Amino acid sequence: MFDVLVKYLREKGSLTNDEIEQFRASSITRRFRKRQYLLQEGDICHYNSFVAKGCMRMYRVGDNGAEHMLRFAIETWWMADYESYNSGNSSKNNIDALEDTDLIMIKKNDFDALVNAIPNFRIFKEKLETRSYDASQNRILSNISDTAEKRYENFIQKYPDIYNRVPLHMIASYLGLTRETLSRIRKQYAKTDK
């Protein structure tokens, strides 16, 4: 499982073998079964988790009991509730596995120590944070300015691996659509593809 992170750190972060060993010493590996929680509302998020294999989701439950999808994470993506992780406050969100998932988990204080000890990783982390911020801004702008059809089209183009692994009602929630609207859009796309 750790070899997925090793390859990732070498390719994306330009880390040396010694620096990678620091990661190994600071991390734990854990397998989550489908529907098993990494984090539940009310808990504090103590770990930044690297997805070695599988698929996770982060969602919030509304007052009416509806689940609102906030994020998905697949192989080589990081998953945490960063609001809780950074503040140390209780989470308002849930994170669970959508399929059997292998995670490499690093506690916040250990992760921060790695960022401070490894300059290349600090630079890489800053790039990841910038990309994450940009993606969040683009999603907000898309939700307030794009048509439902455009949001769907953008999602399947940007995230084809997620689209093929996540139930459609969760994709609808992520896109801010009803299940019926997503079904209508998918039918329109099926007609235009023929």
In terms of domains, do 156 and 140 share one? no
Q: pLDDT at position 1, please?
A: 83
From 143, 154, 153, 149, select the one nearest 176 (Cα to Cα): 143
Percent of the chain with pLDDT over 70: 99
In terms of domains, do 150 and 139 share one? no
Average pLDDT of the chain is 93
In terms of domains, do 62 and 155 share one? no
Q: pLDDT at position 193, please?
A: 63
In terms of domains, do 95 and 67 share one? yes
Please count the structural domains in the chain.
2
In terms of domains, do 125 and 163 share one? no
Q: pLDDT tens, 4-48? A: 999 998 888 888 999 999 999 999 999 999 999 999 999 999 999
For residue 66, the domain's CATH number is: 2.60.120.10
pTM confidence score: 0.91
Residue 3: pLDDT above 80?
Answer: yes
Last residue of a domain, one of 105, 129, 144: 144
> Model confidence at 91, in pLDDT bands (50, 70, 90)?
very high
In terms of domains, do 84 and 151 share one? no
- Output the CA angle 159-164-165, nearest 5 degrees: 100
In terms of domains, do 115 and 183 share one? no
- Unique residue bearing structure tokens 């599988």: 54
Structural domain of 111: 2-144
In terms of domains, do 27 and 115 share one? yes
Q: pLDDT tens, 127-151? A: 989 999 999 999 999 989 999 999 9
In terms of domains, do 21 and 77 share one? yes
In terms of domains, do 24 and 38 share one? yes
Residue 194: pLDDT above 60?
Answer: no
Last residue of a domain, one of 144, 159, 181: 144
Q: pLDDT at position 115, please?
A: 94
In terms of domains, do 158 and 140 share one? no
DSSP string, 89-131: PBPS-EEEESS-EEEEEEEHHHHHHHHHH-HHHHHHHHHHHHH
Q: Are 112 and 69 in contact (CB under 8 A)?
A: no
For the chain, state the CA radius of gyration. Answer: 18
In terms of domains, do 137 and 155 share one? no
